[in-house]
C-alpha cells in the first residue's frame, strides 16, 4: 500500500493519533485495543479517556498536533456527535485532520457520516491491520508546510 | 453470638497447588502402546494458524482455552487430587450440600427450570412496555430492564449531555411517570423484574417500589433484582457517577433497606458479565467478581449489619462465553469459592448466606457482525454451558446484537433457543451431569486455585476499592483483551466468518432508533415540571442532600436515620426526576473520573 519514501518519512516523524471516546458510553475495550495496536505499529497515540465532548476532542487534537482522530462510538450517538465534531474542526481550520470512526454503526448511517467527512468506518471484527494501514496511507504527512 | 467484622476475619489463602500426575499402569500402557505410535504417525497440530506461539518449547502443539489456559490431550484419574475419593465434602458434595459445587438445588432443574429472563428495553417506556408484554406472552419467565445511557448516567432526557443517546441503548426513564408507563398492565407481585442500573440504582428502585405500591402489591412479596454493582463499573463498564466511597455507601443503604422492607428482592447482582465483556479471561471474571462480593460484605459489616441479615440476598451475574468446558468449570467453581469465603472468612451461619445464586447471559462480545445468523449457534452453545453450570436464570443474546438492539424476530429466536434446551435436549433432567468428569473437575479445581491466588493479591492491596484506585483490575483486563485481539489477528484463534470462512455479505435488517425519542421525552418532562409542586420537589431534594451528607450507622431492627432510601422514595413520589435526584447527590459527593490506563 504505502510507497517506500513515505515509510522512510514516517520513521522520522511518527504519525500522531488521538483516540477519543465521545458520548456517555463507557465501553472502552475497543478504544484501548486500537490505541495499543496503533502504538505497536509505531504511531504516537494519545487516548482521551471517557465522555469527551466534541469541543474537548477538537481542542486536544489541535493542542497535540495530531494527524488523525480515531473515534470509538458504540451507543448510537454518532449522528449527533460526528457532525458537531466535523463542524468544529472546520471552524478551527483543522479539517485536514483525518477522522476515522470505529464501533457499531448501522449501514444506513454510513453514507451520511462519510458526507460529513469521516474518511473510514471500521465495524466490529475489522482486522487491526486494516485500520493501521488505512491511517498510514491517508494521513497528511507531518513536517510539511500546510 | 459473635459478629464478624472486617477487622477480625481471617484471610482465606489459596488451596494447595494442583496434583502431581500419578499415572496408573493401565494409563502408562496406553501411552506407550497406543498413544506414542499414533503421535509418531500423525503429530498433533494447533487449531488455528501455526504461528509458533501455539507450540511448546519442545515443538509439540499447544492447545489452550479461549482464556489462554493450557488444555491437555486427555484427563484421567491422575488429574484429580490423590484424596479425591476420601473427601467428597471438600471437593464436591452433593447437590444442595456444601461446598455446592454440584448446585444449590437438590433436584437441579427437575423441580423448577431456570428462569428465562430476556434483557430488553429501547426507545420510550410505551414501546418497551409493548415488548415486555410480547416477551411474557411468548413464554419468558421474568423481565429484565435495559435503561438508556442518560438514565444510567443520571441525566434527564433533556440534558445537553443526553443528546444523541436517548432511548438508544435501552429505555429512557426520567421520572416515576415513565416507570408507571413501563409496567402498566404488568402485575409486579407476580412478575420478577431485574433492573440493570448501577450508579442511580437506588433512584430507579425507589420508582419501581412506588409503582408496585400503586398497584397494591406487597413489598414483602415482590421479588426481583437490582444490578446495583458499582465496583464492576469502575473496573469494566465505566458507567459511574460518584467516587467509590459514597457509591459504596449508597449500595449499603439499599442492603439495609432491603433487609428490612423487601425481603424477597435482591438488592445487588454482583456482576462478572461486564468484566468479561471488557476483555477479562474466564478466571479474571470469576476472581474479580467474587472479590467484589467480598468487598460489599466488608463494607456492610463496617456499617454494622449482621452478615446473615443481608448475605442471603446477594446474587451474582456471570458471562457465558464460547469455551464450553472452561465456562462450566467457572460456574461450578464459583459456588464452591463463595461457600468457602462465606464460611471461613465471614462466618455466615445461615445456609442461604453461603449459597451462590447467579444469573447468566451469553457473551455479547462473542457475537459477530459478519454472518450474524452464525450467532444463533454460538448462543446455543453458551446457553448450554450456563445450564450445565447450574445457572438460576438465563438471558440468551439475539443474533443481531453485534449490529444493534434486537429486532422482535431475533429476540424470539433467542428465547426459543432456551426453550429448546429446556424442553427438547434432555439436559435439564439430571443434576450436574458433568460432575465427576476428569476434565471438568480438573478445570474447576484450577479455577478455584487461580481465584484464591487473585484474592491474596487483592487482599494485599487493601481490598477492591484500593485495587481499582491503583488501576490493577483495569490493567489486567486491558492486557488480556489485547492478547486476545493479537491472537485473533494472527489467526491463532479462529472466529468463523470474521478471520476465516469469510463471505461477501449484504446488510442485515436491524432495529433502528432515531432521534425522536428525545423529543417525546423532553415534551413529557416539560408537562411534568409544569404539573408537579416545584416547592415540594425542592424541599425534598434538600432533605435528601442533608441525609446524604451524614454518616449512616445501623441500629438493630431499624433503618439508619441517614439511610438515603426513604429520602429518595419521598423525592420520587413528588415526581422529582432521575436527573434532579442524581444532581442532588452529585452536589454532596462530587463526581469521579478515572485516570486513563491504556
Q: Is position A145 within any domain? A: no
Contact B162, B156 (CB under 8 A): yes
Question: What proportions of chain A, in percent to the nearest 5, are helix, strand and coil?
Answer: 45, 20, 40
- B141 pLDDT band (50/70/90 cuts)? confident
Residue labelled with grid coordinates 478445570: B443
Q: Is position A131 within any domain? A: yes
Pick the CATH number of B103-489 from 3.30.300.130, 3.20.20.80, 3.30.590.20, 3.20.20.240: 3.20.20.240
Contacts of A107 in chain B (CB under 8 A): 507-508, 510
- B597 pLDDT band (50/70/90 cuts)? low
Q: Is position A121 within any domain? A: yes
A75 touches chain B (CB under 8 A): yes
For residue A94, count CB atoms less than 10 angstroms from its CB and return exposed for 0-12, middle for 13-18, buried for 19 or more.
middle
Q: What is the pLDDT of residue B140?
A: 73
Query: Do A124 and B598 count as a contact with CB atoms less than 8 A apart?
Result: no
Paired strand residues for B194: B144, B225
H, E, C per residue of B528-566:
HHHHCCHHHHHHHHHHHHHHHHCCCCCECCECCCCCHHH
Grouping H, G, I as helix, E, B as strand and the rest as coil, residue B359 is strand
Cα–Cα distance between A41 and A24 in angstroms, integer?
29
Domain count, chain A: 1
Q: Is position A12 within any domain? A: yes
- Residue range B460-489, pLDDT digits in tens: 999 999 999 999 999 999 999 999 999 999
C-alpha closest to that of B270 among B253, B250, B246, B295: B295
DSSP conformational letter for B18:
P
Q: Which domain holds residue A64?
A: 4-138
Query: Do A35 and B598 count as a contact with CB atoms less than 8 A apart?
Result: yes
Residue A49, domain CATH: 3.40.50.280
Contacts of B151 in chain A (CB under 8 A): none
Q: Is position A64 within any domain? A: yes
- Residue range B346-371, pLDDT digits in tens: 999 999 999 999 999 999 999 999 99
- Percent of chain B past pLDDT 90, that is, above it, reads 87
Query: Do B515 and A79 count as a contact with CB atoms less than 8 A apart?
Result: yes
Tell me the ipTM for this assembly.
0.87
Backbone angles phi, psi at B275, to 5 degrees: -65, -40
Query: Do A77 and B482 count as a contact with CB atoms less than 8 A apart?
Result: no
- A144 pLDDT band (50/70/90 cuts)? low
Omega cis (within 30) before B370? no
Cα–Cα distance between B174 and B583 in angstroms, integer?
13
B415 touches chain A (CB under 8 A): no
User: Which of B:162-191 have CB within 8 Å of A?
Assistant: 162-165, 168-169
Amino acid at each position: 500500500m504505502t510507497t517506500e519514501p513515505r515509510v522512510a518519512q514516517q520513521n522520522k516523524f511518527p504519525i500522531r493519533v488521538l483516540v477519543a471516546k465521545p458520548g456517555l458510553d463507557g465501553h472502552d475495550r475497543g478504544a484501548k485495543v486500537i490505541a495499543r495496536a496503533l502504538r505497536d505499529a509505531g504511531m504516537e497515540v494519545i487516548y482521551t479517556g471517557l465522555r469527551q465532548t466534541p469541543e474537548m476532542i477538537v481542542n486536544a487534537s489541535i493542542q497535540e498536533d495530531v494527524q488523525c482522530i480515531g473515534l470509538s462510538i458504540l451507543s448510537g450517538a454518532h449522528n449527533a456527535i460526528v457532525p458537531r465534531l466535523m463542524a468544529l474542526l472546520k471552524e478551527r481550520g483543522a479539517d485536514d485532520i483525518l477522522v476515522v470512526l470505529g464501533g457499531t454503526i448501522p449501514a444506513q448511517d454510513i453514507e451520511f457520516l462519510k458526507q460529513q467527512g469521516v474518511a473510514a468506518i471500521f465495524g466490529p471484527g475489522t482486522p487491526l491491520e486494516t485500520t493501521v494501514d488505512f491511517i498510514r496511507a491517508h494521513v497528511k504527512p507531518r513536517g510539511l508546510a500546510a | 453470638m459473635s459478629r464478624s467484622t472486617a477487622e477480625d476475619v481471617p484471610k482465606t489463602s489459596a488451596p494447595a497447588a494442583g496434583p502431581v500426575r500419578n499415572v496408573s499402569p493401565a494409563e502408562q500402557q496406553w501411552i506407550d502402546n497406543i498413544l506414542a505410535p499414533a503421535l509418531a504417525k500423525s503429530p498433533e497440530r494447533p487449531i488455528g494458524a501455526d504461528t509458533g506461539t501455539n507450540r511448546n518449547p519442545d515443538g509439540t502443539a499447544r492447545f489452550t482455552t479461549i482464556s489462554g489456559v493450557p488444555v491437555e490431550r486427555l484427563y484421567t484419574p491422575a488429574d484429580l487430587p490423590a484424596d479425591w475419593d476420601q473427601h467428597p465434602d471438600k471437593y464436591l458434595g452433593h447437590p444442595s450440600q456444601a461446598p455446592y459445587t454440584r448446585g444449590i438445588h437438590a433436584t437441579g432443574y427437575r423441580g423448577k427450570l431456570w428462569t428465562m429472563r430476556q434483557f430488553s428495553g429501547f426507545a420510550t417506556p410505551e414501546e418497551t412496555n409493548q415488548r415486555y408484554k410480547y416477551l411474557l406472552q411468548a413464554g419468558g419467565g421474568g423481565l429484565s430492564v435495559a435503561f438508556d445511557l442518560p438514565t444510567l448516567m443520571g441525566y434527564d432526557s433533556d440534558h445537553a449531555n443526553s443528546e444523541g443517546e436517548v432511548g438508544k441503548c435501552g429505555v429512557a426513564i426520567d421520572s416515576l411517570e415513565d416507570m408507571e408507563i413501563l409496567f402498566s398492565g404488568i402485575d409486579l407481585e407476580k412478575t420478577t423484574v431485574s433492573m440493570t442500573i448501577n450508579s442511580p440504582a437506588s433512584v430507579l428502585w425507589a420508582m419501581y417500589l412506588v409503582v408496585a405500591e400503586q398497584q397494591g402489591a406487597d413489598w414483602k412479596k415482590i421479588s426481583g433484582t437490582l444490578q446495583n454493582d458499582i465496583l464492576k463499573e469502575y473496573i469494566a463498564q465505566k458507567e459511574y457517577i460518584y467516587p467509590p466511597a459514597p457509591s459504596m455507601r449508597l449500595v449499603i443503604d439499599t442492603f439495609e433497606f432491603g433487609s428490612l422492607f423487601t425481603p424477597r428482592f435482591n438488592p445487588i447482582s454482583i456482576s462478572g458479565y461486564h468484566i468479561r465483556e471488557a476483555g477479562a479471561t474466564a478466571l479474571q471474571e470469576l476472581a474479580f467478581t467474587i472479590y467484589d462480593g467480598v468487598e460489599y460484605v466488608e463494607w456492610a459489616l463496617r456499617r454494622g449489619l449482621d452478615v446473615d441479615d443481608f448475605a442471603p440476598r446477594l446474587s451474582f451475574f456471570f458471562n457465558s462465553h464460547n469455551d464450553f468446558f472452561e465456562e462450566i468449570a467457572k460456574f461450578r467453581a464459583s459456588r464452591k469459592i463463595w461457600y468457602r469465603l462465606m464460611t471461613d472468612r465471614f462466618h455466615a451461619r445461615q445456609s442461604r448466606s453461603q449459597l451462590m445464586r447467579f444469573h447468566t447471559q451469553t457473551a455479547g462480545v462473542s457475537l459477530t457482525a459478519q454472518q450474524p445468523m452464525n450467532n444463533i449457534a454460538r448462543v446455543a452453545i453458551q446457553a448450554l454451558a450456563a445450564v450445565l453450570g447450574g445457572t438460576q436464570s438465563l438471558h440468551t443474546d439475539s443474533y443481531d446484537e453485534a449490529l444493534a438492539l434486537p429486532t422482535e424476530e431475533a429476540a424470539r429466536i433467542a428465547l426459543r433457543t432456551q426453550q429448546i434446551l429446556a424442553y427438547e435436549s434432555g439436559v435439564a433432567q439430571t443434576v450436574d451431569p458433568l460432575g465427576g468428569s476428569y476434565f471438568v473437575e480438573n478445570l474447576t479445581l484450577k479455577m478455584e486455585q487461580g481465584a484464591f491466588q487473585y484474592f491474596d493479591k487483592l487482599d494485599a492491596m487493601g481490598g477492591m476499592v484500593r485495587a481499582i484506585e491503583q488501576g490493577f483490575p483495569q490493567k489486567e483486563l486491558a492486557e488480556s483483551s489485547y492478547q486476545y485481539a493479537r491472537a485473533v489477528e494472527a489467526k491463532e484463534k479462529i472466529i468463523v466468518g470474521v478471520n476465516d470462512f469469510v463471505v461477501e455479505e449484504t446488510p442485515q435488517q436491524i432495529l433502528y432508533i432515531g432521534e425522536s425519542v428525545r423529543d417525546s421525552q423532553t415534551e413529557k418532562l416539560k408537562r411534568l415540571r409544569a404539573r408537579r409542586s416545584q416547592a415540594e420537589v425542592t424541599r425534598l431534594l434538600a432533605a435528601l442532600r442533608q441525609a446524604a451528607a451524614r454518616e449512616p450507622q445501623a441500629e438493630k431492627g431499624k433503618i439508619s436515620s441517614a439511610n438515603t432510601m426513604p429520602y429518595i422514595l419521598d423525592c420520587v413520589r413528588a415526581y422529582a426526576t432521575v436527573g434532579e435526584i442524581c444532581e442532588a447527590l452529585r452536589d454532596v459527593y462530587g463526581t469521579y473520573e478515572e485516570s486513563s490506563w491504556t
